[in-house]
Amino acid sequence: MVDRQTLTAEFCVIGGGMAGLCAALAAARCGADTVLVHERPVLGGNASSECRVHITGANQHGKRPDARETGILEELQLRDLAVNPHRNYSIWDTVLHETATYQPNLRLVLNCSVHSARMDGPRIASVTGWQMTTQKQITIEARQFADCTGDGITAPIAGAEARRGREGREEFGESLAPEQPDDKTMGMTCLFCAVPTDEPQPFTPPEWAYTFKSADELPHRRPGHLRCGYWWIELGGEGDSVADTEEVRDELLKIVFGIWDHVKNHGDYGAENWRLDWVQFLPAKRESRRLVGEHLLCQGDIESGGRFEDTVAYGGWSMDRHPPRGFWHDGPPALFGTVPDLYGIPLRSLYSVNVPNLWMAGRDASCTHIGLSSTRVMGTCSLMGQAVGTAAAYAVRRDISPAESARADAIDAVQQKLLSQDCYLPRFRRRFGETTRTGRLTATQGSPEPLRDGVNRPVQGKEHSWSGEAGGSVEYRWDAARPITSVSLAFDSNLNEEIALSLHHDRNRTEPPPELVRDFTIEAEVDGAWRTVHTEEDNHQRFRQISFNGLMASALRLTTRRTRGAAQVRVFTFAVNEPAPDEFP
């Protein structure tokens, strides 16, 4: 007899890639009882040790100033930098695993593939999956669900409206779209990793591998760096990128081993002492199903800056389209459409148009094919996930639907919560409470007013930060003592730099950015005397929220003692008495 187990929650996230992980963490931190169910043994999806795709996003490999994603993704990456100086993917897996496992309000169900849903009218009442490690059938009942699977599993099991393929040029007025619609997609990739050694390393390819004896057989795809290859080993766009995955993987492996054979045995690549260290057997997908929301993000939205009233995330990666034939395409392996600036992503693209309690985030969000070509990168997917988790927590607390969360005062509360957790929303400012607004703010040097201007990063040449030397301080003072419940801080972590773990380049940092404040103290003036109420040493995070219990003070002072190496200190936010993590403004 099959062992059956039922879990009950307020919010269930299906899929534990970066979008799903950020959604589950955000919801749990905002007070929602959350279950995250994931079909793999490790979290992170394409970013995990199983796939090892580097997380990129709006900063476009550092080419767009101050655009790197903050919030939960930044927290996870900075944590990895602090504990993983050797940049090992198993340690990165562990950082993600421990963050989810020890997060209050979050239950993690791994190795469990969701295969069916029970419906209550148009709503999802529960989903059921098979956990292969325990041979249990696990059912999760919840009030609201999020599909963060990438492949959009709720389309076949719950009837969520979905699209696959490329829209025709006229449907959304997209100049980058093909003239006629079709069912073709971008493909999937299997990577490999090689390492240098001190002596020659022979390589004999498997007999089933393809053979590429001449570079002329690889037009537009000449191998470059040896450490990791190659995103253009891509197939699967001409068939069904879900149903054909197993067959496509086998074809990709023939190419992978054939390319390494070419590098080692048929060309002058300086590879004599390099050995193959790892091959990806779980293909990293770019596109399959896209669930349909109230709004489909399209090329025009991206080019016009996505100026939505319900903006909850942003993107900035180019409109990066890969030909459906992938590796066998005889032209360039990708075409890049310009994205003029950061663009907003609306909440209306993150919930289902026909399943009233279903959210989605990641590459199955509501976009056209051209829209997806920019939003599909994992930095952007992570922001969508945090937005969905935050909005879902608000919705379950107020017993409203995802669609109602995009309306008027509800969307304002969700946006302000995201901003208060160090997310950035283009053209939106964080509003501070009365304690922060009314305090007299002074500093030992420079103007401290940017600390409460509501913008947490440089934007279009304006710094939005207080700057000074290590040892400097900023201080709030009020006319009378008042209760101080919390402080939130946003330090400089150099948003121009790539900090993601990556096999694709040699620019991996081995420690947190030098601009980060490492040591700081918070002092409070209580009954006319200063006393230290918090001391931090060896900080490695950009965003900190510190709570106090029973503190009454007439003044509060932040002193930045030391950075992690930079000469100057920059602080973007110093706010007092902000809502607790599980409270909404």
pLDDT in tens, 411-424: 999 999 999 999 99
Burial environment of residue 111 by CB neighbours within 10 A (0 to 12, 13 to 18, 19 or more): middle
Determine the average pLDDT of the residues in 560-566.
96
Determine the average pLDDT of the residues in 460-488.
95
Q: What share of the chain in percent tops pLDDT 70?
A: 99
Number of H helices, E strands in the chain: 12, 28
User: What's the CA gap between 325 and 394, in Å, rounded?
Assistant: 43
pLDDT of residue 173: 98
Is the backbone of residue 408 left (phi > 0), alpha (psi -120 to 50) or beta? left
Per-residue pLDDT at 225 exceeds 90: no
Per-residue pLDDT at 30 exceeds 80: yes
Per-residue pLDDT at 229 exceeds 90: no
Q: Concatenated DSSP letters for 287-301?
A: -S-EE-BSS-B-HHH
Q: Concatenated DSSP letters for 468-526?
A: EETT-EEEEEEEEEEEEEEEEEEE---TTS--S--SS-S---SSS-TTSEEEEEEEEEE
Per-residue pLDDT at 265 exceeds 90: yes
pLDDT of residue 581: 76
pLDDT of residue 507: 61
Determine the average pLDDT of the residues in 396-403.
97
Determine the average pLDDT of the residues in 159-172.
98
- Cα dist from 585 to 357, 417, 431, 439, 581, whole Å: 23, 7, 9, 19, 10
Instruction: Map residue 449 onto helix, strand or coil.
Output: helix
What mean pLDDT value characterizes the chain?
96
CB 342 within 8 A of CB 315: yes
Determine the average pLDDT of the residues in 428-432.
97
Give residue-wise pLDDT tens across range 138-159.
Answer: 999 999 999 999 999 999 999 9
pTM score of the predicted model: 0.98
Residue 279 — pLDDT band, cuts 50, 70, 90?
A: very high
CA angle in degrees (0–180, nearest 5) for 366-331-46: 40
Which amino acid would we find at residue 112?
C
The strand pairing partners of 44, in sequence order, are 17
pLDDT of residue 505: 63
User: What's the CA gap between 227 and 236, in Å, rounded?
Assistant: 25
Token duo for residue 89 = 């993917």
Least confident of 83-87, 284-288, 580-584: 580-584
Burial environment of residue 338 by CB neighbours within 10 A (0 to 12, 13 to 18, 19 or more): exposed
Give residue-wise pLDDT tens across range 324-365.
Answer: 999 999 999 999 999 999 999 999 999 999 999 999 999 999
Burial environment of residue 214 by CB neighbours within 10 A (0 to 12, 13 to 18, 19 or more): exposed
Question: Which domains does the chain possess?
Answer: 3-44+56-162+298-315+324-420 (3.50.50.60), 188-285 (no CATH), 434-576 (2.60.120.260)
